[in-house]
Amino acid sequence: MVSPILINMIVSSVLSAGIASAVSPLAALSRSTMAALQMLHVVIAGGFLGVLIYHMGMPIPPIATTIVFSLLMSIAIAELIERGFTQDVAAAISAFTSCAIAALSGFLASRISSTALTEAWSFLIGSLVLIRITDILTLALLLIITTVLVLMFHREVIYISFDEEGARAMGLRVRYYRYLLYGLLSVVAVGLSMSLGAIIAHILLAAPGAISSKISTSIRQVFGYSLGISMLSVCIGIVLAYRLALPPGAMIGVAVVLIYLVFTICLRGFRR
């Protein structure tokens, strides 16, 4: 009989792969992958802040604080870029601000409660082997929201990536689409980090889009390959982890690297 832990692991991995395959191509095509990965710093800061606020006696669940904080920071990054900062600089500003907030919140929380830091880390850094049914439901909801938003607005985000000035001249409200993209990336970063852990979140946010955008000749292909790469990498990763008794997050990472090598070395003619 298959263990419930393994079933939960497989279901959550497939859901996460679905979420990642939808947003990762948008991040890659809009050259926002580094900003997306930087969101994971924001998630950590939001988590520490959430735990601090909770221990200060305010009845606000830490996850709510984390989501609100991440959304606000994503809007701040989008606004900085809108005002002429490069994505790198905007991401750097967000990174050091988040790290400062995380350090300060962590210190203050540890003075209030001796278990606060442990709570914050366990709350933030999920693990595939510890996945619960509530995590699976959260991921399912996130998948639905992400898929709907990406289906509705991917064209505009891609048009802006292709030719931002032309998109503005055509009347697209670039600022709001940027808010939407970064907001979506931040919510996905929160969901993936809390359910599966920051390492898998890093891998799944970056790899599928980066690989698929390099080998595709149309947008439909980018999303198709992204879905295939995400699913394949989590399946291979889980099988490897189960067979070799190694951490699934690490094995998913190994699977992604193997897939990347296959595409870039063995199928060189396939690459554009």
Partner 1 sequence: MHEGVEVKNVTVTYGDVVALDNVSFSLGHPFFAIVMGPNGAGKTTLLRCLIGLVRPVSGSVKVFGLDPVKRPYDVRSITGYVPQMISVDQSVPLRVCDIVAMGLLSKMRPPRLVRSSELSSAIMKILRIVGIEDLYDKPFYALSGGQKQKVMIARAIAHNPKLLLLDEPFSMLDAESRVEIAELIYELHRRYEMSVLMVAHEISPCMCYEPVVLILNKKLYAVGKAHSVLTKEVLMKAYAGYMEVGRITILGEDHG
One character per residue 28-57, x = contact with partner 1 (rule: CB under 8 A): -x-x--------------------------
Residue with smaller CB distance to partner 1, 58 or 267:
267
Residue 85 as a binder of partner 1 (CB under 8 A): the answer is: no
CA-nearest of 17, 258, 5, 243 to 127 is: 5
Residue 17 as a binder of partner 1 (CB under 8 A): the answer is: no
Q: Contact at 8 Å (CB) between 97 and 82?
A: no
Query: Coil, helix or strand for 173?
Result: coil
Choosing from 170, 244, 246, 262, the residue that interacts with partner 1 (CB under 8 A) is 170
Buried b (16+ CB within 10 A) or exposed e, 197-229: bbbbbbbbbbbbbbbbbebbeeeeebbebbbbb
> Can you spell out the DSSP letters for 200-212?
HHHHHHHHHHHHH
Residue with smaller CB distance to partner 1, 167 or 199:
167
Residue 144 as a binder of partner 1 (CB under 8 A): the answer is: no
Q: At which residue do the structure tokens 């990762």 appear?
A: 24
Residue with smaller CB distance to partner 1, 159 or 242:
159
Backbone angles phi, psi at 2, to 5 degrees: -75, 135
Residues 191-250 interacting with partner 1 (rule: CB under 8 A): 213, 216-219, 221-222
Question: Rounded to whole angstroms, how far apart are CA atoms 51 and 66?
Answer: 9
Cβ of residue 184: shortest distance to partner 1, in angstroms? 15
Residue 88 as a binder of partner 1 (CB under 8 A): the answer is: no
Residue with smaller CB distance to partner 1, 132 or 155:
155
Among the residue ranges 98-106, 157-165, 189-197, 249-257, the one whose residues contact partner 1 (CB under 8 A): 157-165
> Can you spell out the DSSP letters for 222-266?
HHHHHHHHHHHHHHHHHHHHHHHT--HHHHHHHHHHHHHHIIIII
Residue with smaller CB distance to partner 1, 13 or 213:
213
Binding site for partner 1 (CB under 8 A): 29, 31, 152-153, 155-156, 158-159, 161-172, 213, 216-219, 221-222, 272
